Structures are given as structure tokens and as C-alpha cells.
Chain A
Amino acid sequence: MDAIGTFLRLIWELAVYLVVVLPDMLPIILGLATPLALGALCGVIGERSGVVNIGIEGIMLIAAFFAYLTGFALHNVIGSGPSLVLGIAVAILVGALLGLVHAWLTVSVRADQIIAGTMMNIAAFGVTGYLNRLIITPSGLGGAGVIAPFHLPTALANLPFVGPILVMFFNQGPIAMSVVFIVIGLQIALFRTKWGLRTRAVGEHPKAADTVGIDVYRQRYQNVIFGCALAGLAGAFLTLESTGSFQNGMTGGRGFIALAAMIFGRYTPIGAFGGALLFGTATALGVVVNVRIPEGDLGTILKSIPSFWYAALPYLMTIVILAGVVGRSTPPAADGVPYVKEGKG
């Protein structure tokens, strides 16, 4: 009985603790969720049209590198501000170009979609590692820094209840801030516009869509390229808004966590964003626990958990969530199936 009582008390203390530290966590959650959300949106748009992309991780990494490289090469020439803006543009463009490659492989050549994604991930590892060793490391120079985050006026930030929420969404850099709008925009576009209807038609029943005159290939190309541009933006966020530097393999599995967020969110933009926020919260908890340790037994327990376990938390959570929800999350019917137009065998 005593053991159960202690356990219940600890659970209660944990709940109270979470509420207490929530304001501390809120400002960093959105930042941690941003690359996951953008990656998940890339997945949603692609798979809604019937194209599986497990190469999001690689596209993010390559875009992150070229965004950094742009700032690195130009900040002494055109100043750090303009070079950062140009870096973001380059990342989006690189993402879109890689999207074109993936679309060509999966839609036109009808290569296996999982293998095409794997190829992208290995290529990303090689290309960024190669150019990093060839250009950036020997120079010993730094990049263009990071985009300064926006800061709310203190009066607004100190408002009770509303303040922390405002801080969460507005004390951010431009990419993190734009994510909310991109999510809402895509949710409306996917379910309320002609583009959205065509996307879903092509992903659910391409033959029917073809019959009524929708160009299946063209729609899939569009979606994959647009989605991968968003993955490119996620890459720019990592190097130009979050860290200001580039390390080999710095995406650290985010492209795959994004896929889990997509499945968790049942292939909708808003749901995927919710999934990304959940993973962001798990990561934020690991950060906050080390800074603000609760008192009493709970503190002893939380402190006794090694930091490596907190670092592994998002990965372990991905596995648990995937195992829990995947059966209830239905992918589009024609997901992963190349379309062969009749008479083109």
C-alpha cells in the first residue's frame, strides 16, 4: 500500500512540476519542434499525393549545409544580414532541386521509393562531409552567425496566462514563427482548395483522377518539389537560426522523427504540427530538468536519471508512439505505388 501511495504522490508531484516549469519550456518548444514540423509537412504533402519520402533527413542536411555555406562565403562581402537571407533562399532552392530529383526517380523512373530515399540520405552524408572537409574545415573561419530572434515588449510578455503563450509563438526567429502560418495555410489548402482536392485524389485513387483529367505525374512532381522546399527551410533553420554552425550529420534523425510526427498526426498538417510539438516538449523537458531541479524525492529521481537517457528520450518516444498509433493512422490508399498511365506500360 505504502509503495503505491509513494508512487501516486510522485506522479502528482511530477504533474505539478510540469505545470510549474511549463513557462520555462514554452519558449524553446517551438524552436525544437520547427525542423520536425517542416519535415513532417514535407512528408504529408508528398504522401498525400502518393509519394513516400524517407530522404527528408538527407534533404534537410544538404540544405542546412548549403545555407551555412552561403553565409560562410558571403558574409564578408555583403554583410551578415543579407547573407543570412540569401542562405535561407539557397536552402529552399536546394530543397526544391532535391525534390525534383526524388520526384523524377519515384514518378518518372518508378524506382523503389524507399531506396530512392535511402540513396538521398547516404548522398547527403557524403556530399556534406566531403565539402565540409574540403572547404570549411581547412579555412578555420566561422559562418554568418544566426538570425536574431524577435522579442516581445515586456508589457505583453508579462501578461498573466496569455504572456507565456505569446512568448512561445513570438519570441522566435522568422522561420520558427512562420511555421504556424505555414501549417494553418497548408491545412486549409489541403482540405479546402482545388490543389488540395487534386492532391488527395491523386494519392487515393490516381486512376480515377487521371480519368477526370488530372495530370497525376504533374501533381506528384509539384507536391514533392514543394514539400522538399519546406524540408530545405528546416535545414536553413538548423544552421542559420538555431545553431549558427554546421556539423557532419547534425540533423541527428530529425527527418525520421518528422515521419513519426506525420503518422502520429494522421497525415494532416495540423496533426503533424501537434506531433512535432509533442516531440519538442519531450526534448525541452530534458533541457529544463537539468536547469530547474524540483525538490524532494521527485528531484532525487529526476536527477538520478543520466542525461544520456534524456537525450535518447525523443528517439525512444518515436518508437513508442509509432507502435501505438500506426494501426489507427491510415495512409493514403495509393501511397508508395508508382502510377503507370494506361498504354505507357
Chain B
Amino acid sequence: MSRLGAVARQIWQVASIPLLAIVLAFVVAAVVIVVSSVFTPTGFEPLLPIAAYGNLLAGAFGSGTAIANTLVAAAPLILGGLAVGLGFKAGLFNIGVAGQFLVGAFAAAVVGAKLAETPAAVGVVLATVAGALGGAAFGFIPGFLKARTGAHEVVTTIMLNNAAVLLLTWAVNDLVRAPGFTFPRTGPIGNSALPILLGRNLHLGIPLAVLMVLAVRWLLDRTTIGFEIRTVGQNPNAARYAGIRPVFITALTMTLSGLLAGLAGTIQMLGVIGFYAPGITASVGFDSIAVALLGRSNPIGILFAAILFGAFRAGAPLMQIETSVPVEVIDIIQALVILFLAADLIVRRLFRIRAPKAEIVELKTVTQSWAGGAASGSPPS
């Protein structure tokens, strides 16, 4: 019994600040909902947040379908969160998940459509590999640039996100547009679609995402590469003295991070969307950052954080339909969660708790490499 108590205490130590940050975010968002209700035709509604959150909960967990939707929405967030989290471990901030997601989705859609008639095993495997490699290649670019020139990934990945949207739109228009449709899109993926395992929409990508959680955990905790990644993230200079090449690790980590983000796009493409068309949105980009921060860049933490944000995304449409509270309130909640994690001082003071600091130590390396360059993966000048 006392052992169970010890475990519970341990979990509370790790999870208390993230959980309380979420509670606080919902409280502040409730204030936003009440205040902004003044500007709507229905006028001031003090009880609107309760109705909104009730519908959010119902839309996320209220029925078998709702729970399935939550898991489907969570799967790409698990992979996107792992992508950002793995970057953090090496002291890198990959804001480019949105772009890598799109490139991965595009590559999977194109290869999937080409192999639509082949047996499912061939189509699914090759399309998935194509998507993962597409994301990896798109992640390699900022990684290589950071390693070679010191160009900070925070700017280059955002620029690549914007460029990816435009260039993929061009590619769908001019290179791979499928005939017979009224709008530019890729062809049907036929047999390359991920098999549905259960019910209407629980596809193979969901267990794949969980499997990747274990794979990343194994990579970080049990391999030499993982050790080197963590060392570079905590202190690039010490890593250099220890004979680790930060340049190599930086490029490699961004590539692996891009691979995970590309895989997120792949399972969304082959398991949910089915074809690439301009304008497919990637809210996964920002969501992944929130997921990684909330999960403290720990793979298991990321798994839980992704399910939570998957629930928000799955439940939000019902909330908007029933209570007219815009789905964008989820983005506001997300920003607030990050705010209360970054300024966990507020949480501690408010709830009078004494947990260890919730910060991710490798973030120091991210910020230092913006300013100094000395602490980054760039070679000493």
C-alpha cells in the first residue's frame, strides 16, 4: 500500500504542474468565452463556458464514435509531439513540423496513388516509407543548415513551412494532378490506404504511432546515438570535448525529427484524408509544440499529452455547433497551457505546490544558439 502511495506521489511530482497548467488554462479561457459572449447576438451568457466545455467533453469521450475520433486525432499528434520532443532533447526547436507533415502527406499520397492497384501490403508499406523519407528530407535541410552555417532552425523551419505550402500547391497543380476531378488533387490511393482495424475509422496508424513512442524512448535511453543527442542538448561544448560531433548530431536529429513529422502526415493521408489537395490544413504544427512541452519532451508524457489534445480537436466541432463558441478557443487554451508551463511560477504560487521545476533544460541550448552560436551545433569560428 505504501509502495502504491510512493508511486502516486512520484507521478504527482512529475504531472502536477502540467495538469494544473491545463486547469488554469481552461479557467482563463472560460473568462474569455464569457467576456466575448457580450459581442454576440445572444448577448452576455455567464454559463456559456459550462455548456461549451460540456459539449467539448461529449464530443471527445461521449460515445464510442467520439472516443474513436479522439484516438484518430491523437495519432498524428503523438508523432508530431515526438518530432518536436526529440528536437528539444538535442537542443533544437523544430517549428517545421507543419511543413514536414505536408511533405510527408504529399509523398505518401503520390506514391500511394501510383500503387493503388498493387496488393495492400506493397502499397501501404512503400507509401509509408515514401512519406517518412519525404519528411526526413525536409527536416534534413534546416538541420544541415544549422550544423554547417548556424542559421537558426526557428527561422528556417518557419520559412520552409510557408514555402512547402506554395510549392506543394504548384506540384499538385502542374506535376501530379489526377485527371477527372474538378479541382487539383492527387489520384485515389485505393489499396494503399491504411487498413481499418476496428470500427469505422481506427486505422493501423494509431498502433504505429504508439510503437514509435517506444522506439523513440528506446533510441534516447538505450542507444549511443540517443546518449549523444542528450549530451549535445544539455551542453554542446561539453559534448565537443567528449568527442561527440554536435554538427553531425544536429543534422541527424533534425532529419529524424522530420521523419517523425513526415510519418504524422503519412498516417493522416493514408488513414484519414486519402488524397492531397491544396488547403489541407496542418494545425498539427502548433499542436505538436504544445504536446511536446506539456509532455516535457518525454515520450510517455508526449503520448498522454497527445491524447489530451486529440480529445480537444475531436470535441471542438461539436462545441462550435452546439454553443457557437469558435473552435479557435482550442488554440487559445493551447497558448495558455504553454504560458503557464513557461511561467510555472504562476502555477506554484496559485496552488502553493512544491514540485520540481517544470522546465525542459535543453531549451537553454535552443535560446543560446539563437544568440551566441557558441553553444549551438555550429563549428567554432
Interface residues of A (CB under 8 A from B): 47, 52, 54, 105, 109, 111-116, 118-123, 125-127, 129-131, 133-135, 138, 252-253, 256-257, 259-260, 306, 308-309, 311-312, 315-316, 318-319, 322-324, 326-327, 331-332, 335-337
Give chain B nearest CB distance to A263 CB in angstroms: 8
Q: Would you call B155 an interface residue if the criterion is a C-beta within 8 Å of the partner chain's C-beta atoms?
A: yes
Closest residue on chain A to residue B335 by CB atoms: A123
Complex Cα distance A122/B283, Å?
A: 11
- Asked if A130 and B326 make an inter-chain contact with CB atoms under 8 angstroms apart, the answer reads yes
Complex Cα distance A112/B334, Å?
A: 17
Closest residue on chain A to residue B376 by CB atoms: A326
Give chain B nearest CB distance to A297 CB in angstroms: 21
Interface residues of B (CB under 8 A from A): 32, 36, 39-41, 93, 95, 145, 148-152, 154-156, 158-163, 166-167, 169-170, 173-174, 286, 289-290, 293, 324, 326, 328-336, 338-339, 341-343, 345-346, 359, 363-364, 366-368, 370-373, 378, 381
Closest residue on chain B to residue A128 by CB atoms: B328
- Asked if A122 and B370 make an inter-chain contact with CB atoms under 8 angstroms apart, the answer reads no
Complex Cα distance A342/B378, Å?
A: 32
Give chain A nearest CB distance to B293 CB in angstroms: 7
- Asked if B149 and A326 make an inter-chain contact with CB atoms under 8 angstroms apart, the answer reads yes
- Asked if A54 and B159 make an inter-chain contact with CB atoms under 8 angstroms apart, the answer reads no
Give chain B nearest CB distance to A26 CB in angstroms: 26
- Asked if A122 and B155 make an inter-chain contact with CB atoms under 8 angstroms apart, the answer reads no
The residue that B370 contacts in the complex, of A52, A120, A306, with Cβ under 8 A, is: A52
Which B residues are CB-close (under 8 A) to A252?
162
The residue that A259 contacts in the complex, of B155, B169, B346, with Cβ under 8 A, is: B155
- Asked if A122 and B160 make an inter-chain contact with CB atoms under 8 angstroms apart, the answer reads no
Which A residues are CB-close (under 8 A) to B286?
121-122, 125
Which A residues are CB-close (under 8 A) to B152?
322, 326
Which B residues are CB-close (under 8 A) to A127?
328, 332, 335
Complex Cα distance A154/B41, Å?
A: 50
Complex Cα distance A327/B376, Å?
A: 12
Which B residues are CB-close (under 8 A) to A133?
326, 328
- Asked if B335 and A126 make an inter-chain contact with CB atoms under 8 angstroms apart, the answer reads yes
Give chain B nearest CB distance to A333 CB in angstroms: 8
Which B residues are CB-close (under 8 A) to A47?
371
Which B residues are CB-close (under 8 A) to A123?
331-332, 335-336, 339
- Asked if A130 and B149 make an inter-chain contact with CB atoms under 8 angstroms apart, the answer reads no
The residue that B335 contacts in the complex, of A52, A119, A309, with Cβ under 8 A, is: A119
Question: Which of B169, B329, B371 counts the most chain A CB atoms within 10 A?
Answer: B371
Which A residues are CB-close (under 8 A) to B174?
306
Q: List 26 A-B contacts (CB under 8 A).
A: A54-B154, A109-B346, A114-B93, A115-B363, A118-B338, A119-B339, A122-B335, A122-B338, A123-B331, A123-B335, A126-B333, A131-B36, A135-B40, A138-B41, A253-B162, A256-B155, A316-B163, A318-B156, A319-B156, A322-B155, A323-B148, A323-B151, A327-B150, A331-B371, A336-B371, A337-B368
Known interface pairs A111-B342, A306-B174; 11 further A-B residue pairs with C-beta atoms within 8 A, sorted by A's residue number = A105-B343, A112-B363, A118-B289, A134-B40, A253-B159, A311-B166, A312-B162, A316-B159, A316-B163, A327-B373, A331-B371
Which B residues are CB-close (under 8 A) to A112?
342, 359, 363-364, 366-367
Which B residues are CB-close (under 8 A) to A54?
154
Question: A123-B335, A129-B328, A134-B40 known; A115 and B159 CB under 8 Å?
Answer: no
Question: Which of A122, A138, A306 counts the most chain B CB atoms within 10 A?
Answer: A122
Which A residues are CB-close (under 8 A) to B343?
105, 109, 111
Complex Cα distance A173/B224, Å?
A: 59
| A-B CB proximity, top 10 nearest | A126-B331, A335-B371, A123-B335, A308-B170, A129-B328, A336-B371, A130-B328, A126-B332, A111-B342, A133-B326
